[in-house]
Structure 1
Amino acid sequence: MNVEKVTRFSPDGPDDAALVEWPAMDAANLESDVPVQRGHFYLNDESLGLMAGVWDCTPFTSIMRPYPVDEFMHLLEGSLTIEQEGGTATTVSAGDTFAIPKGLVCRWVQTEHVRKFFMISSNTDGETHDNPAQFGVMCPKATDPVTPIVITDTSLILGAVPEQHRHAYYTDKTGQFSVGIWHSEPFERPVYEFDHYDLMYIVKGVATVSDGAGDDQVFKAGEAVFVPKGAPYKWKNDEFVTKIFCAFTPKKTAQVSNAAE
């Protein structure tokens, strides 16, 4: 069942229940033996081609091929290497966040058990970038350069307008799926109906995210919050916050917003 409210992602799924075994990978896409994969979908919307959840897997190596989806990931356990056509290799370890664009020709090399949070857009009927290699494997860092956000719409801000900065690493060609980093001074917004899907990983600071009706959840550095489209949403941070995010805005509402995030 898809979540409909502000949701804390857990490495073991809802209520720390054990993950369930998923169907086996297609052996034709592997250089190794078929691994055992388990997971939980917090969201699996086939109409949007959008999935978000937690996944773990035993070691495996894929063949070199175009990556079949746009995927944002935060690694919880283990390490792996993404080898690109042409020789570039990117290794990520527990605590790292990374994203792979659809169509990037690459090989997944995993020599140990891995667990991750993820958000995937299959984009089965949309355009893809002509040269995904221009993006490569993206690994957002809190120290990466950012640019100021010009906030022109203050209707969703309570009190003083904060100073905010961001950097966009990737937006798919449809304008729906994006990955970035965001910094903000303390601010508060009133409850409103969330207009997109967002998986946020808190890098620095503490934020309270709620439904405005008493379900207040505190998220600190190292924790992930998922907000589905249509959920009642209220945000407050009393200290400086940095988050890495993956957002999906369905085509009908996809647009650049100048409101505070």
Structure 2
Amino acid sequence: MSVRSFVDLRAVAARAGESADLLAGDILPQPAGPVTIAAARLAGGGQIAAMPDDRFVIVLSGGLSVDGETVAAPRSIVLPAGVPITWNAAPDTLIVTMACSSGPAGAAQPVPIDPDAPLEPSGAPLADLLVGETPSCRNHTDYRSANGEFVCGTWDSTPYHRRAMRYPHYELMHLLDGAVTFTDETGRTATFRAGDVFLVEQGAECAWLSTVHVKKVYAIYRPA
């Protein structure tokens, strides 16, 4: 089995083929489970009688209309499980999706992610993993599944350095501000900057280093 790590999703999306189906796309290989990561170049539009899962959708280019709600790049939206939707994609619309089928939906209609929502203080990384000062972190949750396992929203933090930890969850991140450097257990390192979209895979062992303020939109699957 390959080492679990971080994945540059913009690079994955750049290779995606065209799809006329919002539920289709080029799937990023992952172990069997409730999470599916995919990318697609959408063409046209259509109707879905009921979403088969909770689905976080980030528009990387173009624009997506869902039930009259326009999601232009680089915004994102959650399409809850069981909800019927009508969608239409502008020409050259490129999306990345994170689908989660672990539990009941937490809303009865699509939920746009608001990156400008007011943030409230939230927990910091564990003290025994930190190198240096404890950061000040804030969060706003736009969507939470009924079982609490799939959560999407916005988070920010002052700079910090965290030693490598094993991720018990999947986390898709879209950096809005700042930069962060990840290093996995093999020593592989990459720095992601504002505008980048990437995934930390469940089971990855990664360190985090940010020397400036960081703000991100996130989609997390964390099993209960």
Fold match (TM-score > 0.5): yes
Shift of residue 145, structure 1, vs aligned partner? 0.7
Deviation string, structure 1 residues 134-155 (Cα, Å, up to 9, x no partner): xx422221x2111101448412
> Is 1:101 matched with 2:71?
no
Matches within 5 A, 1:31-70: 39-46=25-32, 48-62=33-47, 65-70=49-54
Structure 1: runs of 5+ lacking an equivalent: 26-34, 84-88, 255-261
Deviation string, structure 1 residues 181-208 (Cα, Å, up to 9, x no partner): 1100000100121111111110000110
Structure number with higher strand proportion: 2
Q: What corresponds to 2:99 in structure 1?
A: 120
Shift of residue 213, structure 1, vs aligned partner? 4.1
Contact persistence 1:3–1:42 (CA under 8 A): no
Name the CA distance, whole Å, in 1 between partners of 2:160 and 2:153. 20
Q: Which amino acid aligns with 2:16?
A: L
Name the CA distance, whole Å, in 1 between partners of 2:140 and 2:205. 26
> Is 1:80 matched with 2:54?
no
Determine which structure has more spread, i.e. the larger CA radius of gyration.
1
Contact persistence 2:181–2:208 (CA under 8 A): yes
Matches within 5 A, 1:209-220: 209-220=182-193
Instruction: Report how many aligned residue pairs link the two structures.
Output: 224
1:160–1:214 CA distance, 2 compared to 1 (3 A)? same
Please state whether the residue corresponding to 2:117 is helix, strand or coil. coil
Structure 2: runs of 5+ lacking an equivalent: none
Q: Which amino acid aligns with 1:56?
A: R
Name the CA distance, whole Å, in 2 between partners of 1:208 and 1:111. 34
Please state whether the residue corresponding to 2:212 is helix, strand or coil. coil
Shift of residue 244, structure 1, vs aligned partner? 0.6
Name the CA distance, whole Å, in 2 between partners of 1:224 and 1:9. 5
Matches within 5 A, 1:170-185: 170-185=143-158
TM-score, normalised to structure 2's length?
Answer: 0.88
Q: What corresponds to 2:195 in structure 1?
A: 222
Q: Which amino acid aligns with 1:140?
A: D
Q: Which amino acid aligns with 2:213?
A: F
Q: Which amino acid aligns with 2:79?
A: I
Q: What corresponds to 1:31 in structure 2?
A: none
Percent identity between the two aligned chains: 25
Q: What's the C-alpha RMSD, in Å, of the aligned pairs? A: 2.6
Shift of residue 227, structure 1, vs aligned partner? 0.8
